[in-house]
Amino acid sequence: MSDWDTNTIIGSRARAGGSGPRANVARTNAQINAARRQGNVLSVDKKYGSTNARGDNEGQRLTMVDRSDDIVKPKKLDATVGKTISRVRTEKKMSQKDLATKINEKPQIINEYESGKAIPNQQILGKIERALGVKLRGKNIGEPLFGPKKK
């Protein structure tokens, strides 16, 4: 027998040592169920595509839940801040709606901040500070935003 009679296979279909059939990827539920009936599937993993992938990506947005039984209330706005907003707004003869349109927010948000029910948002507080010209964060709440100039 000569070398002319043997076939040499080169490439991806070549199997050295008879390693078995090539693994197929089951993409649909029907393919997964068929593989389970044959006893071929070992595990099913959900893989996430690129950032351009559309569809259900809830797994990426899930966060780890704190397993303690403690109920932590969200931080509320201090009552002095709400009273200061209300006082300065009325001194400038502005309604809640006027202030809201000036800072590009809804009037309901101004109402929540003045009543002290709002969860503090630093961006909104900064907008209100600039619109009213009064400090609302940190120390010296109620003082003018731009104090006396230093020489």
**Contacts of 96 by beta carbon, 8 Å cutoff, 6+ apart:** 89, 107, 110, 111, 114
pLDDT value at position 25? 73
Structure confidence by residue, pLDDT tens digits, 30-84: 888 888 888 775 666 666 555 555 554 444 444 444 555 556 666 788 888 999 9
For residue 12, what pLDDT band results from cuts at 50, 70 and 90?
Answer: low
Structure confidence by residue, pLDDT tens digits, 19-32: 555 566 777 888 88
pLDDT value at position 111? 93
Structure confidence by residue, pLDDT tens digits, 87-110: 999 999 999 999 999 999 999 999
Full-model pTM:
0.50
DSSP secondary structure of 77-121: PPHHHHHHHHHHHHHTT--HHHHHHHTTS-HHHHHHHHHT-SPP-
For residue 119, what pLDDT band results from cuts at 50, 70 and 90?
Answer: confident
The residue with greater pLDDT, 13 or 98, is 98
pLDDT value at position 143? 85
pLDDT value at position 60? 47
pLDDT value at position 105? 92
